[in-house]
Chain A
Amino acid sequence: DIQMTQSPSSLSASVGDRVTITCRASQSISSYLNWYQQKPGKAPKLLIYVASSLQSGVPSRFSGSGSGTDYTLTISSLQPEDFATYYCQQSYSTPRTFGQGTKVEIK
């Protein structure tokens, strides 16, 4: 199985801050990397697919980058509705593994 490791596990930030979350795969996954946002009591929501493609309807303050084993999700200016938990997920091979999540909290 490909292991996905996110950092940090949690962070505190203020509205307007630039936030960066990192995801590292245990082997190269060639941009087969997706990012999801989950709010308490809700299903995950797709934000980014194929490492850097923005899902329709997702605000442009969200962006993704990376290659090989290392990937990044960036929120350029954190908004109140962005406080949530974020997960990366690889789709290079099955099982389709997720990172452990990064909780973004209000500072």
Chain B
Amino acid sequence: QVKLQQWGAGLLKPSETLSLTCAVYGGSFSGYYWSWIRQPPGKGLEWIGEINHSGNTNYNPSLKSRVTISVDTSKIQFSLKLSSVTAADTAVYYCARGSVRGRNYYYMDVWGKGTTVTVSS
């Protein structure tokens, strides 16, 4: 059974860079998309972006200028960096596995537990 374990700094100051990592246990790394999603306090879900095992990325245009998602296939991990954070970036950040079936139907079927990130001076 595939599990995702995520970690990273939980408290940042404005203008710093958010850095989170997600490790994949118990499953294949190839053939999937590896995604980051966030949820501000009391609000809904926002897709940040994704990467596949080959390093091909898709980003949310609203965050694209500040986001980098990378993959380390040797460690079976993928990472998120978000630069120049502000209070608006305060959220729970989730990593997730994106599976694809048939005619490129995509869905996120395995999720990490989430990491709370607070941006405050």
A: residues with CB less than 8 A from B are 1, 31-32, 34, 36, 38, 42-46, 49-50, 55, 87, 89, 91, 94-101
Establish whether residues A43 and B114, one from each chain, have CB atoms under 8 Å apart when the complex forms. Answer: yes
Residues in chain A near residue B61, CB distance under 8 A: 1, 95
Closest to A96 in B: B47
A94 adjacent to B45 (CB under 8 Å): no
Check B111 against A91 for contact (C-beta < 8 Å). Answer: no
Within the assembled complex, what's the spacing in Å between the Cα atoms of A76 and B31?
35
Known A87-B44, A95-B62, A98-B47; 20 more pairs at CB < 8 Å: A1-B61, A31-B105, A32-B106, A34-B107, A34-B108, A44-B37, A44-B111, A46-B108, A49-B101, A50-B101, A50-B102, A50-B105, A89-B107, A94-B58, A95-B61, A96-B47, A97-B47, A98-B44, A98-B45, A99-B44
CA distance A36 to B35 in the complex (A): 15
Most buried by B among A32, A36, A44, A96: A96
Interface residues of B in 11-37 (CB under 8 A from A): 35, 37
CB contact between A101 and one of B44, B50, B96 (< 8 Å): that residue: B44
* A43–B107 CB distance below 8 A: no
A30 to chain B: closest residue by CB: B103
Does chain A have a CB within 8 A of B55?
no
Taken together as a complex, chains A and B put the C-alpha atoms of A95 and B57 apart, in Å, by 12
Docked-complex contact B111 and A50, CB < 8 angstroms: no
B94 interface residue per 8 A CB criterion: yes
CB neighbours of A100 from chain B (8 A): 44
**Chain A positions within 8 Å of B106 at CB level:** 32, 91, 96
Binary interface encoding of chain B residues 43-73 relative to chain A, with 1 for a CB under 8 A from any of its CBs, else 0: 0111100100000001111100000000000
